[in-house]
Amino acid sequence: MRLIVGLGNPGGKYARHRHNVGFMAVDAIAAAHGFGPWRKKFSGEVAEGRIGGEKVLLLKPMTYMNESGRSVGEAVRFHKIAPEDIIVIHDELDLAPGRIRVKTGGGHAGHNGLRSIIAHIGPDFHRLRIGIGHPGEKARVHGHVLSDFGVAERKWLEPLLEAIARHAGLLVAGRFSDFGSRVMMDAPPPEKD
């Protein structure tokens, strides 16, 4: 079984925030692959299904970002899921908007959701990092991540989420390089101004 975790904050007021792009991605995967309904479990919401013949559990922690690890830890312990079978999808300040990278292990780079997950299960899981860009000054980071995607950003966001969902089979199979190439081919990042 693979566990794919989308990070975000619960509640309608956060739904379109940049920080919630992980929730958006797992919602797109669930819809594209005909997953069952979302159910409350593991201090979060889960949906089960199959991608490329592999059983997959999607998880959206409902603990708020800073406590994401509590939810992930519950699911990991219950299903006895190994770190190499876990993919966490999250926003990434240090990537240009619309770019993605898959990384295995490492630190949290100041991301509170990752910090919490590492505290609960260790650092050796995979991360799908979705670039939201940096606002330029550290003092503006909080407002940037906790603001809705702008109209111009939605022009690249929707195709990107669709491409991530379409090629999720490569992600689940661990073919991260192929996944990244296909997604970027289908949903190229916006041109820099």
Which residues, in sequence order, are bridge partners of residue 59?
5, 46
126 catalytic per annotation: no
Q: By the 8 A CB rule, do 28 and 166 touch?
A: no
- The catalytically annotated residue of 19, 33, 111, 167 is 19
Token pair belonging to 28: 């797109």
Give the closest residue to 72 by CA, choosing from 34, 125, 36: 125
User: How do the residues of the chain divide into helix, strand and coil, expressed in percent and rounded to 5?
Assistant: 45, 25, 35
- Eight-class DSSP state of 154: H
The distance from CA 187 to its chain's CA centroid, rounded to whole angstroms, is 17
Angle at 19 between CA 73 and CA 167, to 5 degrees: 75
Helices (H), 50-150: 68-79, 112-121, 141-145
Locate 167 and state its tokens: 């090629």
The residues that are catalytic are 19
